Amino acid sequence: MMQCAIYAGTFDPITLGHFDVLQRASRIFDKVVIAIVRKSNKSAMFSAEERLAMASDVASGFENVEADCFDGLLVEYARERKVNILIRGLRAYSDFEYEFQMALTNRKLAPELETMFLMPKDSHSYLSSSVVREVVELGGDIEDFVPQCVEGHIRRRFPIRKTGEE
């Protein structure tokens, strides 16, 4: 039977840390779906369409990864897609409480779902989407933070201003 997993998140934007988790998941599962929540309680810098375009470009580098958007409960989306494994990344101990709460809530809502945690490379453990957003807003270099194809999308929205430009 084909084993499929969902890697859900806001991905605003998708970072090298997310990419690392995705790479690990793609080696374990036959198929991985990057599932982008359209609306979350965080205010997003990038629209759902922009986040989907970034994730689709990342997915095109893998044979068994696709990107999609969803609304509403993640457990309902997983049921619709007939998937019962959720992937989450654990970067540091500080992620644990939030992840634990989310995994147990999802289990209560859908007992058939399992959440599996993968740890990204330690060199990426400091990375977060909000750090990337701040660097983007302040005009800094994001080369070491996001996959190259994602940098292209971000730069189309936030071009680097040359010194002296308004």
Q: Identify the bridge partners of residue 118 per DSSP, sorted by sequence position.
A: 89
Pick between residue 32 and residue 74 the one whose CB is nearest to ligand COA: 74
Pick between residue 143 and residue 165 the one whose CB is nearest to ligand COA: 143
Q: Are 148 and 15 in contact (CB under 8 A)?
A: no
Best CA proximity match to 37, nearest among 67, 13, 72: 72
In degrees and rounded to multiples of 5, residue 40 shows phi and psi of -125, 180
**How many whole angstroms separate alpha carbon 109 and alpha carbon 101?**
12
Rounded least distance, CB 58 to ligand COA, Å: 13
Residues taking part in catalysis:
18, 42, 91, 129
Which positions touch ligand COA (CB under 6 A)? 8-12, 15, 17-18, 21, 37, 40, 73-74, 89, 91, 102, 105-106, 120, 124, 127-130
The structure tokens listed for 103 are 């995994």
Rounded least distance, CB 164 to ligand COA, Å: 32
Pick between residue 53 and residue 73 the one whose CB is nearest to ligand COA: 73
Q: Which residue is nearest to ligand COA (CB)?
A: 17
Under DSSP, is residue 30 helix (H, G, I), strand (E, B) or coil?
A: coil
Pick between residue 102 and residue 149 the one whose CB is nearest to ligand COA: 102
What is the distance, to the nearest Å, from the Cα of residue 29 to the centroid of all Cα atoms in its chain?
A: 17
Rounded least distance, CB 5 to ligand COA, Å: 13
